[in-house]
Amino acid sequence: MKFLCVRCDEPMAFEKAEGPEEGSLAVTFACARCGARFALLTNPWETQLVRTLGVRIGGRRVPPEPMELVRGTLVQQRDPEPAPADVRAAAPVWTAEASQRLERVPEFVRPMARQAIERYATEQGYREITVRVVDEARARYMP
């Protein structure tokens, strides 16, 4: 799908994607020449179709996690295999505020978000995941 600014006859560029909220994505495009902007609002079926393709509107900034789509979408799943004791001991601890912040992430992407934030925290050497660490990770993965 491509968008054209009819006034300028110029292709419009992706600006940002928000959601999904209540099954709808809001994707904003802008014309680089005249600055006109418009938002594409998807209905739940369109949102789901995009999701099932395993692609990201606006492009991917980080490679997908292994089995990202299946694990993020399968409603009933086995608990993952417990991590080895040494790995678990080294895993950063979530503060209550940071956990509450994570609860605001849509449920179907929450496991991936948790994993990405924990990985970021581990890479940075943080032992505790605070709201600040969540914001840092968000800036890294979703600038």
Stretch that binds another protein, among 4-12, 90-98, 130-138 (CB under 8 A): 4-12
Residues forming a β-bridge with 14: 29
Stretch that binds another protein, among 70-78, 93-101, 130-138 (CB under 8 A): 70-78
Q: Of 1, 85, 89, 96, which lies in the binding site for another protein, with binding defined by CB under 8 A?
A: 1
Burial letters for 104-116: b for 16+ Cβ neighbours within 10 Å, e otherwise?
A: ebeeeeebbbeeb
What is the rounded CA–CA span in Å between residue 141 and residue 143? 6
**Cα separations (Å) of 1 from 14, 50, 107?**
11, 12, 27
Q: Does 108 bind another protein (CB under 8 A)?
A: yes
Task: Provide, rounded to whole angstroms, the least separation between the CB of residue 43 and another protein.
Answer: 9
DSSP string covering 90-101: HSPEEPHHHHHH
CA 98 to chain centre: 17
Q: Of 18, 37, 39, 56, which lies in the binding site for another protein, with binding defined by CB under 8 A?
A: 56
- What secondary structure letter does DSSP report for 108? G
Q: Does 139 bind another protein (CB under 8 A)?
A: no
Q: Does 39 bind another protein (CB under 8 A)?
A: no
Radius of gyration for the chain, computed over Cα atoms and rounded to the nearest angstrom: 18
Q: Does 38 bind another protein (CB under 8 A)?
A: no
Q: Does 85 bind another protein (CB under 8 A)?
A: no
Residues within the interface to another protein (CB under 8 A): 1-4, 6-9, 11-14, 20, 22-24, 29, 44-45, 47-49, 51-60, 65-81, 107-108, 119
